[in-house]
């Protein structure tokens, strides 16, 4: 199988484990139940129980928590290769909701599928635990971002993180990436107002660092943006397989 034929999840986990033929086969079998979901309609509701997890193979999703006052807080976005609700399939009730941002393709995964896969190849369990650890590291970075970074650095850090995540699954380069997010999505995840987001993006563009326009993030000065954000990608841990 060439890397372009592999699922995004396989490409991603390959950054952690040098997968054997057997492990590759088990992983591809997890993609059997393919489903499509339309943009803007929740796939999993907060508080829902007995739900499946999904492996996202095409498109973007946002995960969010509903507040008692009816507002929502976006926790993160999922891109191809990411699990949707891996946490939800293990916890009794989902602690958050998922909404596709565009029409998406995803494979449904039941708890029994995970148990079967882990029984066949325990290294895969470690690889999926790695992916979950990486997801947690991202939430921690967002926590630090909201707590400590100013608006420019917060935006720069977020756009760089997305770029690294997409590069891992072959959907981004140091030049940039396609991005369906609106300024409202950015405002929500970064804890800024939409007007503030607009101003920050204009400043970053005018300083020649990055442009976000017409669904495309273009890095004009990747190194300069890394410096502004104090971005250290070590927490994304994607520099080639650790387990041989």
Q: What is d(CA 185, CA 182) in angstroms, rounded to the nearest whole number?
A: 5
Q: Which is nearer to its own copies, 97 or 176 (CB)?
A: 97
Minimum CB separation of residue 67 from its own copies in Å reads 6
In sequence order, what are the residues at sequence separation of 6 or more whose Cβ sits closer than 8 angstroms to the Cβ of residue 116? none
Q: How many CB atoms lie within 10 A of CB 227?
A: 12
Measured between alpha carbons, how far is 159 from 157 in angstroms, rounded to an integer?
6
Structure tokens at 242: 């650790």
**Residue 60: both structure tokens together:** 């973007």
Least distance (Å) from its own copies to the CB of residue 62?
Answer: 13
Report in angstroms the alpha-carbon separations of 239 from 1, 57, 150, 203, 243.
21, 22, 28, 31, 12
Pairwise CA distance, residues 94 & 54, whole Å: 13
Smallest distance from its own copies to CB 35, Å: 22
Question: Please, what is the end-to-end C-alpha distance for the chain in angstroms?
Answer: 19
Report the side by side order of strands in the sheet with 210-213. Answer: 176-178, 216-219, 210-213
The residue (of 113 and 177) whose beta carbon lies closer to its own copies is 113
Q: How many residues are listed for the chain in this entry?
A: 244
Min dist CB 60 to its own copies, Å, is 19
Least distance to its own copies from the beta carbon of 55, Å? 15
Of 111 and 202, the one with the shorter C-beta distance to its own copies is 111
> Of 51, 117, 60, nearest to 85 (Cα)?
51
Closer to its own copies by CB, 175 or 230: give it: 230
Nearest-approach distance from CB 38 to its own copies, in angstroms = 26
Our CB check for its own copies shows the closer of 25 and 140 to be: 140
Contact positions vs its own copies (CB under 8 A): 16, 47, 65, 67-68, 71, 73, 75, 86-87, 90-93, 95-96, 111, 114-115, 118-119, 122-123, 125-126, 128-130, 132-137, 139-144, 146-148, 191, 230, 234-235, 237, 239, 242-243
Strand order in the sheet with 61-66: 72-78, 61-66, 97-100
Could you tell me the smallest distance in angstroms from the CB atom of residue 36 to its own copies?
26
């Amino acid at each position: 199988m060439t890397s372009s034929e592999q699922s995004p999840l396989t490409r991603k986990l390959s950054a952690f484990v040098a997968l054997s033929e057997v492990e590759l086969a088990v992983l591809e079998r997890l993609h059997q139940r393919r489903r499509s979901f339309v943009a803007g309609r929740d796939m999993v509701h907060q508080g829902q129980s007995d739900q499946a997890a999904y492996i996202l193979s095409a498109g973007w999703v946002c995960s969010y928590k509903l507040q008692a006052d009816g507002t929502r807080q976006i926790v993160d976005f999922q891109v191809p290769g990411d699990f949707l609700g891996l946490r939800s399939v293990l916890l009794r009730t989902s602690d958050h909701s998922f909404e596709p941002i565009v029409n998406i393709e995803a494979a449904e995964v039941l708890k029994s599928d995970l148990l079967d896969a882990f029984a066949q190849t325990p290294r895969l369990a470690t690889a999926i635990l790695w992916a979950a650890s990486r997801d947690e590291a991202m939430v921690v970075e967002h926590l630090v971002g909201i707590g400590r970074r100013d608006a420019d650095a917060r935006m720069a850090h977020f756009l760089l993180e997305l770029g690294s995540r997409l590069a891992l699954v072959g959907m981004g380069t140091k030049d940039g990436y396609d991005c369906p997010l609106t300024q409202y999505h950015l405002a929500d995840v970064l804890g800024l107002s939409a007007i503030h987001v607009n101003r920050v993006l204009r400043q970053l563009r005018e300083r020649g660092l990055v442009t976000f326009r017409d669904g495309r993030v273009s890095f004009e000065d990747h190194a300069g943006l890394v410096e502004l954000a104090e971005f250290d990608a070590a927490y994304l841990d994607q520099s080639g397989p650790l387990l041989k």
